Structure formats: structure tokens, C-alpha cells
Amino acid sequence: MDLIGLLKKHWGYSGFRARQEAIVRAILAGRDVAVVMPTGGGKSLCYQLPAVAMERTCVVVSPLIALMQDQAAQLQQAGIPAAFLNSSMNAAEQREIIRQASRNSFRLIYLSPERLVRADSLEWLKRVPLAFFAIDEAHCISEWGHEFRPEYRQLRALREWFPETPVAAFTASATRAVRHDIIAQLRLRDPAKFAMSFHRPNLRYVVHPCGPRDQDRLLFSALEYYDEGNVILYAPTIRAVEETEALLSRKGHPVVAYHGQMDNARRQRNQEAWMAGEKRILVGTVAFGLGINKPDVRAVLHLSLPKSLEQYYQEAGRAGRDGLPADCVLLWQRRDIGLLAHFIAQLQDHQEKQRAWQRYHAMRRFAESEECRHRQICLHFGETPKWERCNACDRCGAIPEWISGAPAGKRSSRVAAKPAIDAPAHSEMRDALKQWRRDLAKEIGTPPYVILHDSTLDAICRRAPRTLAQLCEVSGIGEKKAERFGEAILEIVARCAN
């Protein structure tokens, strides 16, 4: 089977990333699969490509409506028939999707776990030619995980309802105990197991204890420093989110807030404004981020201690998904320790409380230890690195100027905010391409990165293609995208290159 041909045609890539091909081939061989692949490693492709190759339907279980919509839109842009079913659609739209699914019209269909386990869903899925189930964010099924969701537990019954259909489980942040639990809960049969390294060398981890007054001062220094790309701020409570947003707004920063008690319309509006680049800074609670796939986040700042190291790793890991340098900074105060302990003390279930204390101690060790941060993270997830120092964390001497007190005017090369694009013509081309992408995204109602990633725009600027054939050689431009957007892109390139 010509997997590279399909990869080039739909995704515009001429080769696989680490372990992707092995995972795809295991799924194509009809095996159950358990994959731990850190954020930015390309896990979506691992189930999307085999679904296209098998010419049957892959049912993707995903916890977030916004994520389903974005993924389905990205696949459609790449010429792959995909759909989602959720509560944002009316009854007629849902019936039409079900009718088409029964006729094998989709390669991928996205459902929430609650929707999948409904009796009516099980009924119509029996009529769909299924390839396999892909369970995204699979750590949500484990009580040992940091984001346990009871509705995920019901997915255990997939084995009974569809005994012949393989199941592929994917997660970005699972300790060894959680990995074992995922396999047991989903009743995976002799699964092919893949665990990538948890080391993300493009991220710089910085943990800095501070007082309440220091924190605001440092926050403003940080936002001045990270003046390009996007920034996520995590605050511990809804009140803290709203106070931080108000404070930054008063100082003229382009900021939006996100938390669980907002009405859906406002939350969606704020997320879209940030995803589209209209607002550069998002301040949110832990409610923000699961499945968020924005490649150009240059910094993630936590304004208090998270309740677990897994949560911190996952949230901090939303930085630098484009592979470029990014900073993950934890500004914590002594009072955070008391607050976490207070919440744990409120828990009634003895086992749940025990697990919460284990997570609390692991998080405290990470914050207070003298050891390399990258190494601590790898060890926590059951990986033993061969190196002792990463040279990309505060414990290994990599401290941003805005914290260390050095002049903030010069940015170190380790945290260059965007790739070097030499000639002024290239810079002009990049700006013009971004404006075209922004306008098109608004017109078709989708985030800009769904159309083309920043890394693809940069590759276009470097190569300055003059023909469709040359454009197809750019990484990230598949046949369908060249067909759909090629003329507009070539026109911009020609105008800026002359």
C-alpha cells in the first residue's frame, strides 16, 4: 500500500515522523493499539491516514465540540470526507450525517463519548462499515489520570457491542499506571504499544516562586517580552481569570478570558478570537485547552501550582507545537500549597483522596527540586533519559531575561519568536499570506491554522514557488490544498517576489 503517496496527496508531507508509520501499519493490520505520543508529535495522523487507506469509517471519540469541528474541517480541506455529530446540530442535520455514514460516505466521523454510548447511536453504527475506533485523550478513562471523566468509563462496553472492530487508544500524557489502566478499561487485546519520549527539547521550563506583588510585575514583563506569537495564561480560579483579564485589558493588552461558567456563546467567541489571532493573549482556567491545536503559542504561563504534574505537562505542552522554541513558566506562591491541600481535604472518597495526595507530592517535588526540569518530567512518566542536564530549564541555567533581571531588549536565540526570514520581500510575503489566510478563514468560518499552518506559510516564503508543481513540493501542501488555494497563493508570491 502506497502510504507515502496518500501522505503526500492529502497532507502534503513526503515522510513520516518518528513511529507514525509503525502505528499506522499496526492499525492497518487490524491490531488494537495503545499510543502515548506527546503533544505536537502528530498523533491525529496516526488514525486519520489508516482510515483513508482502509476506505471504511473510523469513529473518533473526542471530548470537545470545538475540536471535532476543527478536525473535520481540516480533513475536508485535505480532500478527506469527514463529519461530526454533536448537540450543536439540528435533528435534520444529524439524520443526514447518519444516512450518509450508513452509505460509507465518510472516512472519519467524530463523536463524544456520551453520544457514542447512547442506544440510538449504537443502533445506527451497526449499519456503518467500521474500520476501527480511535479513542482520543484516552487518559480520561482512568481514575489514576488527572482528567478522569466518568462518561469515558462506558467505552469499556465497545468490546461487547463491536467485538470484531479494533480499538486504537491515544493520549499525550499518561504515567505507567494510567497506561496499564487504559489497556484494562478498554479491554484491548494484545495491543501494539507505542510510547514516545516525553522530552520536548524546544520547550524551556522555568519554575519561579514569587510573592503576590512580584507576580503582577513579572506578568507584565513577560507580556512585553513575548511580543510576537500567542500566549496562554492559566489562572487557578474563575475569579482570578476575570481579575487578570480586567487588569491586562486596562493596560491595553489584547486579551480574552475563558472559563467553565461563561455562557457557551461567549466562551466560543473568545476561543475563536484567540485561535484566529484577533486577540493574542488568552487567560483561562483548566477548562481551556483540551485538544487545542494552535501551533504558534510562544509562551504558556501558569499563575499558580497545578494540581498534578500530568496536568502541568499537558497545559505547558500547548506551547511550541510548531517545533520552534517556546517558554513554559510557572510563577507560584507559597499560598498555592495550602490551597491545593485545602481542596484535597474536601474530597470524600478515600481512594480519590489518596490519589490526589500522590499527585500533590509529585507536583511539589517538581516545583521545589534542584534537579533538571526536563529530566524530572521524563522520570515521572516512566522514561529514564541518558542525560543529566537539558540546558533548557532554569535548573540548568536557562532563565529568561525578564525573570533574571538582565536587559529585556534583546531576546536570546533560544526563544526566537519566529523563524528567521531573511529578505524584506519574504517578510512582506509572509504578512500578505497571513492576511489572505485570515480573510479566507473568516469567510468560511474556520480557524486560520485549519487552512494552512504557519510553518507551511514560512516554507512557501523560503521557496517562493512560481508553479503549482513547485507549490506541491512545499511541506504541508497536498494535492487538494494546491487545487483549492494554489492560484491565490501563487498570485501573492509573484506580487511580493517582484
Provide the Cα torsion 87, 92, 96, 97; round to 10°.
0
Contact partners, residue 268, CB within 8 Å, separation at least 6: 66
CA distance 234 to 456: 29
Calpha distance 170→394 (Å, rounded): 31
Per-residue pLDDT of the chain (498 residues; tens, 9 = 90+): 789 999 999 998 889 988 999 999 999 999 999 999 987 778 899 999 999 999 999 999 988 776 788 889 889 988 999 999 988 888 999 999 999 999 999 999 999 998 998 888 999 999 999 999 999 989 999 888 777 888 899 999 899 999 999 999 999 888 899 999 999 999 999 999 999 999 999 999 999 999 888 999 999 999 999 988 899 999 999 999 999 999 999 999 999 999 988 887 888 888 888 887 789 999 998 877 666 778 889 999 999 999 999 999 989 999 998 888 999 999 999 999 998 999 999 999 899 899 999 999 999 999 999 999 999 999 999 999 999 999 999 999 999 999 977 753 334 434 444 444 445 457 889 889 999 998 998 888 877 878 888 888 888 998 899 999 999 989 889 888 999 999 999 999 999 877
- CA distances 295 to 30, 59, 298, 396, 442, Å, are 32, 25, 9, 26, 19
The pLDDT assigned to 425 comes to 55
Residue reference for cell 506551547? 319
DSSP 8-state code for residue 175:
-
Cβ(146)–Cβ(307) below 8 Å: yes
The CA distance from 274 to 267, in Å, is 11
pLDDT the model gives residue 169: 97
Per-residue confidence (pLDDT) for residue 89, from 0 to 100: 86
Spatial contact of 294 and 311, defined as CB atoms under 8 Å apart? no
444: nearest Cα among 74, 84, 9 = 74
| Grid cell digits, residue 468 | 503549482
Count of CA atoms in the C-beta half-sphere (13 A) of 16 = 18
Give the pLDDT confidence score for residue 446 in this predicted structure. 79
Q: Between helices 454-463 and 424-444, what is the axis angle to 10°?
A: 140
Q: Are 152 and 363 in contact (CB under 8 A)?
A: no
Put the strands of the sheet holding 203-209 in their side by side order: 203-209, 326-332, 297-302, 230-234, 281-284, 255-258
Lookup: cell for 160? 461487547
Paired with 327 in beta bridges are 204, 299
Q: Give one word for 229, left, alpha or beta, with left for phi > 0 and alpha for psi -120 to 50.
A: left
Q: Which domains does the chain have, with CATH numbers?
A: 3-195 (3.40.50.300), 203-415 (3.40.50.300), 424-497 (1.10.150.80)
End-to-end CA distance of the chain: 43
